Chain A
Amino acid sequence: MSIRDKLSALLGFDIDFDAPVPPRKTETAAEQTPDEWRFSRRIMRAGGRRLGAIYKILGVICSVVLMSTLLLTVAGMPRYGVDQEYMDTVTYEYISHGMEYTGAVNIVSGIILEYRAFDTLGESFVLFCAVSCVLALLRADGADSEPERVEYRDISCDPILRRTMRAVVPIVLLYGAYVLLFGHLSPGGGFSGGAVIGAALIMIASAYGEDVSGRILTERVFKTVTTCALSFYCLGKSYTFYTGANGLHSVIGNGTPGNILSAGLIMPLNVAVGMVVACTIYGMYRMIGQRRF
């Protein structure tokens, strides 16, 4: 037997390179119409050709005006960098006194979690609201009339995927925890670390299927984690606001810049924000994919 026959017997089938390739499916003119033209065609049908032409011209004018406004605004902004001569008092204060006031080596983390902590709380609330709305809208109740399609082959049955995920997922989780915990020392922080941890949770859910991921990553767990994280953020930052505004002494000190346990509340707040982001990402994955958490 030649090598090719042995290979075919091993694989069970034989790749025939001389078989005719099926021609590419040619689309008719009706299928090629993009959606926006169809909308303008409805307008033309409703109000005649003139209304359709006016709609297209107005669309072009609006786009050009918006683009030119944005480009002119960006061109009028100062150049980035520390050595520029244009720097107003707020920027100067952040850069020169940022590290000694917040204790964080990474000025960006110091700004978003110390100077502007209220805005970050608002962003976390936005994520929480988004996942709650997705949970409320996409949940498959019993009254849904859509038949549940049977999966022809669940991807979690694959042994190669399971073995690889056994080695890869701890590495990704470790990296996510590193980015989360070192947010005040190196680039990263709550949002990036939370996204990486969320991606690791997606990997677990898709590689190991329902029985393994349904034990720990349940809906109740995620609701508890999100609520506790946001409550901790509120209470911790309220304490710091109260003591800072009234000039009292707060128990949370700044520490030495460069240590992990420094920069006041920035590290616990990073962890809280990261947990919210990870739960949001995993929750959206489950709701959009399986319609049940």
Chain B
Amino acid sequence: MADFTEAIKAALLVLLIISATAAATAKKTLPAIIIFSSFSLIMAVVWALLESPDLAITEAAVGAGVSGVLFFMAYRRMGMMSGGKGDDENGKEDDDEHKG
């Protein structure tokens, strides 16, 4: 039973490294934000497996929830600030569909 827990911990740590590398080397910004949220989620599970529930609750609430929301708001702002074109795929590229 203990070996199974160790195996799951090792697999989660490998996933952590993979998701961190994927978030850093993503070509577009929007998938990078989503992968960053998944990194926080895996980190919360790792904290729970390392017997620290305080950190698990905080990481789940802040990383996977609030931080993702703030990143998306900033991403939307990125499309607006440079005069309508974001870095490679901006958040608001439609300015001709104003519906009431």
Contacts and interface: CB of A to CB of B under 8 A. Distances in A.
Interface of A: 31-32, 34, 80-81, 106, 108-109, 146, 149-150, 152-153, 179, 187-189, 191-192, 195-196, 198-199, 202, 281, 284-285, 288-289
What 7 pairs between A and B have smallest CB-CB spacing? Answer: A187-B53, A195-B61, A192-B57, A289-B73, A288-B73, A192-B58, A195-B62
Interface in B64-98: 65-66, 69-70, 73-74, 76-77, 80-81, 88, 92, 94-95, 97-98
Contacts of A149: 80, 92, 95
Contacts of A285: 69-70, 73
A31 B27 CA distance: 9
Contact of A192 (B50, B54, B81): B54
B5 interface: no
Given A31-B88, A80-B51, A192 B98 contact: no
Contacts of B62: 191, 195
B70 A191 contact: no
A188 B77 contact: no
A247 B27 CA distance: 61
Given A149-B92, A153-B99, A288-B74, A199 B66 contact: yes
Contacts of B27: 32, 34
Contacts of B52: 108
Contacts of B99: 152-153
A284 B52 CA distance: 28
Interface residues of B, number: 30
A187 B76 CA distance: 35
B98 A195 contact: no
8 contacts: A80-B50, A106-B54, A149-B80, A153-B100, A188-B54, A195-B65, A288-B70, A288-B77
Contacts of B69: 199, 202, 285
B61 A196 contact: yes
A195 B66 contact: yes
Nearest to B57: A192
B7 to A, nearest CB: 17
Contacts of A289: 73, 76-77
B69 to A, nearest CB: 6
Nearest to A284: B70
B97 A195 contact: no
A281 B54 CA distance: 19
A81 B50 CA distance: 9
Interface string B25-58: 1010000000000000000000000111110111
Interface string B8-40: 000000000000000001010000000000000
A188 B66 contact: no
A192 B73 contact: no
Contacts of A284: 70
A202 B73 CA distance: 12
Contacts of A191: 58, 62
A285 B68 CA distance: 11
B23 to A, nearest CB: 13
A288 B73 CA distance: 6
Nearest to A288: B73
Contacts of B95: 149
A191 B70 CA distance: 17
B54 A189 contact: yes
A146 B61 contact: no
A179 B57 contact: yes
B57 A188 contact: yes
